[in-house]
Amino acid sequence: MVNNSNEIDITIVIPLLNEEESLPELEAWIRKVMTANNFRYEIIMIDDGSSDNSWNIIQTLTEQNPAVKGIKFRRNYGKSAALNVAFENASGDVVITMDADLQDSPDEIPELYKMIKKDGFDLVSGWKKKRYDPISKTIPTKIYNGVTRLMSGIKLHDMNCGLKAYKNDVVKNIEVYGEMHRYIPVIAKAAGFKKIGEKVVQHFPRKHGKSKFGLNRFINGPLDLMSIIFVSKFSKKPMHFFGSLGLLSFFIGFAILVYLTIAKLVLTEYGMTDRPIFFFGILTIIIGTQLFLTGFLAELVARSSPQRNNYIVEKYIQIEPAKNSAS
């Protein structure tokens, strides 16, 4: 796959935490694949506050291979922060993320590149169909992926696979924060990048170090997913969400009180306040009013946001984009 352009074909993003033993072997493996395919490339390694010798090794690799670049965090901020900073600095037409633990194979890179450049995908996610992980990790992962598919509508088998490929436009127009790296396909879809593909990739047993996997992801994960879905749909129109729920709740409460009023007039032996449904009606009216006011306040905040017109323009025809226009 020959490319005579002076531009970078592929940026490989590698977030890492305490992976000193894996880095030299991983860099050599990537360099071998890139050279064999005549790719112009860069490798961005992000040291997420490692306490071992990882940063010193990255410095050595940058001296040995000019394509290697390093970013070091002062402390551990998490994988999302590492990816976001790397995305900001990525120059390649295609950006590929992979873990530093040698469980992802660089041999998958040429095919991932082809799926983006030739097949036209915006994002391609790896699928570790055969995994070398303990059952304590594989079973929760299957549940997590099933719930994510159901809630997001994105039919990926392995949403959280670290081996992914992106068009450069995708990484430049999404923001990854908190622990949202697990849901980058959901974020990309919300930003309008809907051609999302999947490729079965090899998964190797971990050779060095220890897994950073934690069960807390199954507590925080669903909350993050609901947050992404809500923000992507209602961040610019919060009144549509809160106002609709508020009006529905208020109407239910109002209907209950009207019913009780009529029943009081017709069946005078029953007092309105003697029936539990009376208090339910009052409660739903109060909740409805609060939801409506929440939507109103959220609408004021959204209209005051500097990003209220931050839309992604894909192409222009015979129009010169304004320098200060939203994109």
Is 155 a member of any domain?
Answer: yes
Q: Considering its fold, how many domains does the chain have in total?
A: 2
Query: Residue 191 maps to which CATH number?
Result: 3.90.550.10
Is 325 a member of any domain?
Answer: no
Tell me what pLDDT residue 321 has.
66
Domain carrying residue 123: 10-234
Tell me what pLDDT residue 243 has.
85
Long-range contacts of 160-163 (CB under 8 A, 24+ apart): 161/125, 161/126, 161/127, 161/128, 161/201, 162/97, 162/98, 162/99, 162/104, 162/126, 163/96, 163/97, 163/98, 163/99, 163/104, 163/105, 163/108, 163/112, 163/125, 163/126, 163/201
Tell me what pLDDT residue 290 has.
92
Is 316 a member of any domain?
Answer: no
Tell me what pLDDT residue 228 has.
65
In the chain, DSSP finds a helix count (H) and a strand count (E) of: 10, 7
Query: In this structure, are 73 and 202 located in the same domain?
Result: yes
Tell me what pLDDT residue 2 has.
40
Query: In this structure, are 57 and 80 located in the same domain?
Result: yes
Tell me what pLDDT residue 313 has.
61
Query: In this structure, are 38 and 178 located in the same domain?
Result: yes
Among residues of the chain, what percentage have pLDDT more than 70?
78
Cβ neighbors of 213 (< 8 A, separation 6 or more) are: 137
DSSP string for residues in 267-294 = -TTS-GGGSHHHHHHHHHHHHHHHHHHH
**pLDDT, one tens digit for every residue, the chain (327 residues):** 444 445 899 999 999 999 999 999 999 999 999 999 999 999 999 999 999 999 999 999 999 999 999 999 999 988 989 999 999 999 999 999 999 999 999 999 999 999 999 999 999 999 988 776 666 666 777 777 777 787 778 888 888 889 999 999 999 998 888 778 888 998 898 888 999 999 999 887 777 666 655 556 656 666 666 776 776 677 677 788 888 888 999 999 999 988 888 887 776 656 677 778 889 999 999 999 998 888 888 777 766 766 555 555 656 565 666 665 444
Q: Are 161 and 129 in contact (CB under 8 A)?
A: no
Is 68 a member of any domain?
Answer: yes
Across the strands, what pairs with 200? 127
